[in-house]
Structure 1
Amino acid sequence: MDRISFLPDDFLLHILSLLTTKDVLKTSLLSKRWRNLWKLVPKLDYIDFRKKNDADHGRFLLFVDRSLQLNTAPILESLSFKFHWRHCSDVDIGFWVRIAAKRGLRHFDYCPCTLHEPSRLPQSLFTCGTLVVLKLTNVSLADVKFPVSFPLLKVLHLHWLIYLDDETPQKLLSSCKILEELVVDRQRNDNVTTIPINVPSLLKLVYIGESNEEVFELNAPSLKCLEVKDVGYECMVEDMPEIVTANVEAIYSNTDDILGALTSVKRLSLCLPSESPYPTGKIFHQLVDLEYCTCDTEWDQLITLLNQTPKLRALKLNEKKHGMLIELALLSRGSTTCQLVFG
């Protein structure tokens, strides 16, 4: 017998949890020691990037059915579906999700082929009180019945979702009382004008907007990390006294509000339209590292910002031009080093 087979079950299960479910099942052929060990792996990852054909698709559905139902781990820590070409019906996905929800599912990651219609997931997923991480891509929430329940959810990723109306995302977020990380990647025609983010417990937010008519609304007083890439019309942002890092690439009619809420930031990356004013009377007391995009800006705006950053130590200027990223890194205030990087 090989040496690795002498390791305790806990060690072997940890090793197996790093593999896809298909590879995990292959280990059952190694020896009697491994024959049933795969059934105890608390992590099931179904990853398939091949093009679908009818015969292969039937085998795949049977494989997921059997491996999921034969799994005997006390708690199902993680269930992931990631398909590039393959399309599974809502009935099949719903059956698998309902089984997982009954098993104390903690981490669910659903990323189907985005070329197909948005999937509709079962109601049992949205009342799964054991979930800690929920990541959804190309899903419709139009049939979800509210209120939903996510008492333990800390991480929520929403990529390319379709909502029933403006109230749907608000109802979803209000059910996450201890949420710490939120990713919102919107698409056009998602049936929502604005997604107000009012989450007191939130520590990290990534927001990517697509519509030039929306308003970016944020009230997250505990936020430490913010990344915004938006082409919205306007922003309404409350003060963020705990903010440490921010990356803002946005086009708003007035950016005074969002910049005024970032005065406690230590590391800041900015890419703003030339007409954007800077908040008068606001001092960035903690800012030490600034990355500034010069693609569409007036230099007096940068000078104004520098005058408001008494602790600044590092400045990087970058510009995307003709497909080339030009970066000028300046170590300022106490150093004369200058580095020009062409990428």
Structure 2
Amino acid sequence: MAETSTATKRDMGTDIISSLPDTLLCHILSFLPTLDAVRTSFLSRRWRHLWKDLQVFDFDIRGRGIIRSSESFVLFVDTVLSQRRFPDIRKFSLFCERLDDPNAFRRWMHAAVGPCLQEIYLGFGDYKSRDGIDGLFTCDSLVSLSLQSDFDLNDVPSIHLPLLKNLELPSGVSVNSKLISGCPVLENLSFFASGRLCPKISLLSPSLKRLELIDEREYKHPIINEIQIDAPNLEFLRIYLDETCAKTFIISNFPNIMEAFIEIAPMAEHVDWVPKLVRALSNSKKLYLGGYTIECLVRAPYLRLPEFSCLRHLSIWFINFNSRVLIKLLRCCPKLQVLDIDNTGV
């Protein structure tokens, strides 16, 4: 009879999830936007205060719900952060298109930055005040940092991120020796050019393994005076420069490169250094050359290619098919196993 009674309770929809320990339930809630996690407090008495034990927060004004105005968003974030039971935050994500409270960002950074903070994502629209950002760049525990708004790091007195491995930056942040030297174990760097672009990009990092340099702007011909990349342990490289004009490209060889995706607009300034970049990728196992990149190779006055002795997979996109470049490439790939050719044009 006991077994029958237990089975009957399960059939009637007993809340098995609520019987899980708090630590496991909080782990599940940590995958939800914070607004949805707080809403679970209405499920039952068992869930009423669970969200207060969270150490992972995701505040996004773009999410579904009634929080649409800047004022209500600030009130919600302040309320949640003030009622949390654990003082230390592990992951913090924040996106707000507009902030009317000039002190809100400082309060939130004071709450987020601490000895347990490992990951942080910050995205803003037209909010320009960055009071409180300094402490973020001396956070000893930080492993991942994503900035989706322009920050002038020249105003940051010190950069010391000894454990930072993952860094994502917008165009307004200057990628220079001050930033890179402050991240001694940096492995993954994504640099998205979506607004104004800094005149020089300098990447001198022996620890860097993955690099993405992506141009996402809608206006034409912004100029970078110089791009310098010296990353001997780089394994993955993705460069997409559409309307960006890079005058000078200083690059070292990549002996450990495994995979590369290259698409660079065929401007006069690029024709000189694109072949040099392709030669630096001679150890690649997988290589994608976009249509604009091929146009740079076609326009090069003298095209000298290395032997791609490790290359197994080659993908080429032709805007205008050119058999000369194709034959030259194939002659340099003795171990090629997969060849993808896209000749659909623009």
* Mapping for residues 50-65 of structure 1, pairs under 5 Å: 56-65=69-78
For 2:23 and 2:302, the matched residues in 1 are separated by 56
For 2:236 and 2:100, the matched residues in 1 are separated by 36
For 1:297 and 1:94, the matched residues in 2 are separated by 55
For 1:217 and 1:117, the matched residues in 2 are separated by 31
Residues 10-63 of structure 1, C-alpha deviations (whole Å, 9 max, x = no match): 221121011010011111222232222111111100112279x99943222111
Residue in 2 that maps onto 1:337: none
Q: Does 1:9 align with 2:22?
A: yes
* Mapping for residues 169-188 of structure 1, pairs under 5 Å: 169-187=176-194
Residue in 1 that maps onto 2:5: none
Measured on the aligned residues, the alpha-carbon RMSD in Å equals 2.7
| Shift, 1:126, TM fit | 1.4
| Shift, 1:9, TM fit | 2.1
For 1:197 and 1:124, the matched residues in 2 are separated by 23
Residue type at the aligned position of 1:104: C
Residue type at the aligned position of 2:48: R
Quick one: percent identity of the two aligned structures? Answer: 29
Residue in 1 that maps onto 2:277: 258
Quick one: which of 313, 317, 321 aligns to 1:293? 317
* Structure 1: stretches of 5+ with no match in the other structure: 323-343
Matched length: 314
Residue in 2 that maps onto 1:269: 288
For 1:277 and 1:41, the matched residues in 2 are separated by 61
Which structure has the greater CA radius of gyration? 2
Mapped contact 1:120–1:141 kept (Cα < 8 A): no
Mapped contact 1:170–1:195 kept (Cα < 8 A): no
Residue in 2 that maps onto 1:195: 201
- Taking a change above 3 Å as real, the CA distance of residues 65 and 320 of structure 1, as seen in their structure-2 partners, is farther
For 1:32 and 1:61, the matched residues in 2 are separated by 27
For 2:83 and 2:33, the matched residues in 1 are separated by 16
TM-score (norm 1): 0.83
Residue type at the aligned position of 1:206: E
Quick one: which of 21, 26, 31 aligns to 2:34? 21
Residue type at the aligned position of 1:120: R
Residue type at the aligned position of 2:46: R
Q: Does 1:151 align with 2:158?
A: no
Residue in 2 that maps onto 1:126: 137
Quick one: which of 197, 205, 213 aligns to 2:211? 205
- Stretch deviating more after TM superposition (212-221 or 39-48): 212-221
TM-score (norm 2): 0.82
Q: Where has structure 1 moved over 6 Å in runs of 4 or more?
A: none
Residue in 2 that maps onto 1:97: 109
- Taking a change above 3 Å as real, the CA distance of residues 293 and 277 of structure 1, as seen in their structure-2 partners, is farther
For 1:80 and 1:120, the matched residues in 2 are separated by 16
- Stretch deviating more after TM superposition (149-158 or 10-19): 10-19
Residue in 1 that maps onto 2:10: none
- Taking a change above 3 Å as real, the CA distance of residues 44 and 290 of structure 1, as seen in their structure-2 partners, is same
Secondary structure of 2:103's aligned partner: helix
Secondary structure of 1:241's aligned partner: coil
* Structure 2: stretches of 5+ with no match in the other structure: 1-13
More helix per residue? 2
Residue in 2 that maps onto 1:248: 262
| Shift, 1:292, TM fit | 0.7
